[in-house]
Each structure stands twice: as C-alpha cells, then as structure tokens.
Amino acid sequence: MAIDPIVYTTCWPVRHYELDRNGHVNNAVYLNYAEQLTTEHAELAGFGADWSAARGGWWVVHRTIATYHRPAVYGDLLELTVRVELVQGTRGIRRTTIKRAQDGEPIAEVLTEWVWVRTSDGRPVRAPEELVEVAREATAETLRRHPGYLADLRRASALPTQPQRPR
C-alpha cells in the first residue's frame, strides 16, 4: 500500500465558490470535504474504485454527524485528517477533522458511517475480510475506548428531525 490505510492528512485551500452569502464555507461543503477526502484516502491506500469493483461492492454513506466549531473563510488553508475508526460487519466508520492549518483552530468534525453494498443489487453485505483485517487494530481501539460506540451512534442519529404530530 502506498500510504497508511487508517489515517490520512492533507491540506486544501478554501475556494471562493465554497462560501455562503456570509463569506463562510457553507456547512454542506464540509460534508463534501469528508467524502472527497475519504475517496482520495481509499484510492491512495489501494482500496479505491477498482479494488471495490473487483470485490463486487462499494461503500455508500448511510449516516453523517457533523459538528461545526467555527467558520472557515476564503484564503484559509485547511488541514483535513480522516481516520478509520471501525470496520465491522457491513459498516465502516470514519472521522474527519478539519482545522485551520495556520493556527490549528478546529473548524469542523464529520463522523460518517458507510455501508458496504453489493454491486449487483445494492444490498448491504459484510465488508471484505481484507478491509476488516486492515482495520482490526483501529476497530479494537475504538471499541476499547468506547464500548458503547455503535449503540451511541445509533441513538445519536435516531433523534427525530421533526416534531411528531398527534394523530
């Protein structure tokens, strides 16, 4: 493998078209950053599109939890780091941290749950054993630090998005 398959860091400049009308990077752009960084990491680590196609599947985003700390603006250089936290069953979980490179100030954090799906029908299936093995130590460390990790993730994302109306 060309790079570490668990952690990858790179820097990107904030571009003008990523800004909202307040001159800040639009919140949705951080989700784009997380997905692009994950794709770049997978390709460089040897687990990209060709590798996935040869195994009859691919990753799709199932759930994302974003935390915004402060805005980034045009001209900021951002340091983005993606870390594989878990590969187990059908799931892969990655955490993307985004900091301003100039001073290390945290900008955003994006936790993304991916699901491995079969190419033939788009149904979730177990992630390839090779990926599970590569991430074994990272998965064990995540679960050692936080035994209720998956349950907490499910609970956090199960919050209703709209108030329920009485029938």
Q: What digits encode the pLDDT tens for the residues 89-122? A: 999 999 999 999 999 999 999 999 999 999 999 9
pTM: 0.88
Q: What would the mean pLDDT of 17-41 be, rounded to a whole number?
A: 96
pLDDT of residue 148: 84
Query: Under DSSP, is residue 35 helix (H, G, I), strand (E, B) or coil?
Result: helix
Which residues, including other chains, have CB under 8 Å from residue 46's CB and lie 6 or more apart?
A: 1, 2, 5
Q: Which of 15, 9, 29 is nearest to 104 (CA)?
A: 9
Alpha carbon distance 102, 11 (integer Å): 11
Q: What is the DSSP letter of 85?
A: E
